[in-house]
Amino acid sequence: MGNVMHSLKTLLQLPCGWRCSRQIISSDGITLHLRGKRKTAQCPECLKCSDSVHSCRQRRIQHLPCSGQTLWLVFSVRHWYCRNPACSRKIFAGSLAPFAGSHL
Protein backbone atom coordinates (compact mmCIF):
# COMPACT_ATOMS: atom_id res chain seq x y z
CA MET A 1 0.00 0.00 0.00
CA GLY A 2 2.81 2.45 0.86
CA ASN A 3 4.48 2.00 -2.53
CA VAL A 4 1.15 2.56 -4.31
CA MET A 5 0.58 5.85 -2.47
CA HIS A 6 4.17 7.01 -3.01
CA SER A 7 3.77 6.27 -6.74
CA LEU A 8 0.43 8.09 -6.83
CA LYS A 9 1.91 11.20 -5.17
CA THR A 10 4.84 11.08 -7.60
CA LEU A 11 2.45 10.71 -10.54
CA LEU A 12 0.41 13.72 -9.37
CA GLN A 13 3.59 15.78 -8.92
CA LEU A 14 2.25 17.79 -6.01
CA PRO A 15 3.50 21.35 -6.40
CA CYS A 16 5.62 23.07 -3.80
CA GLY A 17 3.51 24.23 -0.88
CA TRP A 18 1.19 21.20 -0.77
CA ARG A 19 1.44 17.92 1.10
CA CYS A 20 -0.73 14.83 1.20
CA SER A 21 -1.96 14.27 4.76
CA ARG A 22 -4.19 11.23 4.19
CA GLN A 23 -4.95 8.67 1.48
CA ILE A 24 -8.00 6.44 1.20
CA ILE A 25 -8.52 3.68 -1.37
CA SER A 26 -12.07 2.34 -1.39
CA SER A 27 -14.74 1.05 -3.75
CA ASP A 28 -15.71 4.71 -4.38
CA GLY A 29 -12.24 5.46 -5.72
CA ILE A 30 -9.07 7.06 -4.43
CA THR A 31 -9.26 10.05 -2.10
CA LEU A 32 -6.24 12.21 -1.30
CA HIS A 33 -6.45 14.81 1.47
CA LEU A 34 -4.17 17.75 0.72
CA ARG A 35 -3.04 20.54 3.03
CA GLY A 36 -1.24 23.73 2.22
CA LYS A 37 2.13 24.20 3.93
CA ARG A 38 2.32 27.97 3.58
CA LYS A 39 2.16 30.14 6.69
CA THR A 40 1.00 33.23 4.77
CA ALA A 41 -1.25 34.06 1.82
CA GLN A 42 -1.57 37.04 -0.48
CA CYS A 43 -4.84 38.98 -0.57
CA PRO A 44 -6.17 38.85 -4.15
CA GLU A 45 -7.53 42.40 -3.79
CA CYS A 46 -4.64 44.45 -2.38
CA LEU A 47 -1.81 41.88 -2.82
CA LYS A 48 -0.65 42.28 0.81
CA CYS A 49 0.50 39.15 2.66
CA SER A 50 -1.43 37.94 5.67
CA ASP A 51 -0.44 35.50 8.40
CA SER A 52 -3.78 35.76 10.18
CA VAL A 53 -5.98 32.66 9.67
CA HIS A 54 -9.75 33.15 9.89
CA SER A 55 -10.85 29.53 9.43
CA CYS A 56 -10.22 26.32 7.53
CA ARG A 57 -12.76 24.57 5.30
CA GLN A 58 -12.73 21.50 3.11
CA ARG A 59 -13.20 21.62 -0.64
CA ARG A 60 -13.62 18.41 -2.64
CA ILE A 61 -12.73 18.20 -6.32
CA GLN A 62 -13.16 15.25 -8.66
CA HIS A 63 -10.01 14.77 -10.70
CA LEU A 64 -9.35 12.73 -13.82
CA PRO A 65 -9.63 8.94 -13.46
CA CYS A 66 -6.51 7.24 -12.12
CA SER A 67 -5.93 3.57 -13.00
CA GLY A 68 -9.63 3.24 -13.82
CA GLN A 69 -10.69 4.67 -10.44
CA THR A 70 -12.26 8.02 -9.63
CA LEU A 71 -9.71 10.29 -7.99
CA TRP A 72 -10.97 12.78 -5.41
CA LEU A 73 -8.81 15.60 -4.07
CA VAL A 74 -9.97 16.96 -0.71
CA PHE A 75 -8.32 20.26 0.19
CA SER A 76 -8.11 21.90 3.59
CA VAL A 77 -8.45 25.49 2.42
CA ARG A 78 -7.48 28.24 4.80
CA HIS A 79 -9.45 31.47 4.87
CA TRP A 80 -7.40 34.49 5.87
CA TYR A 81 -8.03 37.96 7.29
CA CYS A 82 -6.72 40.82 5.20
CA ARG A 83 -5.22 43.21 7.75
CA ASN A 84 -4.82 46.08 5.29
CA PRO A 85 -7.31 48.73 6.54
CA ALA A 86 -7.49 50.27 3.05
CA CYS A 87 -8.56 46.96 1.44
CA SER A 88 -12.25 46.30 0.79
CA ARG A 89 -11.80 42.54 1.19
CA LYS A 90 -11.69 41.54 4.85
CA ILE A 91 -11.55 37.74 4.42
CA PHE A 92 -10.22 35.70 1.50
CA ALA A 93 -9.65 32.03 0.69
CA GLY A 94 -6.26 30.55 -0.04
CA SER A 95 -5.54 29.64 -3.64
CA LEU A 96 -5.98 26.12 -4.99
CA ALA A 97 -3.76 26.83 -7.99
CA PRO A 98 -2.76 24.84 -9.96
CA PHE A 99 -5.53 22.37 -9.06
CA ALA A 100 -8.57 24.62 -9.55
CA GLY A 101 -9.54 28.18 -10.34
CA SER A 102 -10.78 30.70 -7.82
CA HIS A 103 -13.96 29.83 -5.94
CA LEU A 104 -15.92 33.05 -5.46
Flag whether 14 is in a domain. Answer: no
Whether residue 42 is contained in a domain is answered as: yes
List, in sequence order, every residue forming a beta bridge with 62; answer none if it has no partner. 72
Tell me if the bond preceding 65 is cis, omega within 30° of 0. Answer: no
Residue 30 forms part of a structural domain: yes
104 inside domain: no
Structural domain count, the chain = 1
pLDDT in tens, 6-59: 555 666 676 677 788 888 888 888 888 988 888 999 999 999 999 999 999 998
What is the phi/psi pair of residue 76, to 5°? -90, 105
Which among 32, 31, 48, 49 is positioned nearest to 40, based on CA atoms? 49
pLDDT (0 to 100) of residue 2: 53
Q: Which amino acid is at 63?
A: H
Confidence band for 86, pLDDT divided at 50, 70 and 90: very high
pTM more than 0.75: no
Whether residue 103 lies inside any domain: the answer is no
Name the residue range of residue 29's domain: 19-93
Q: At residue 86, what is the residue type?
A: A
**9 located within any domain:** no
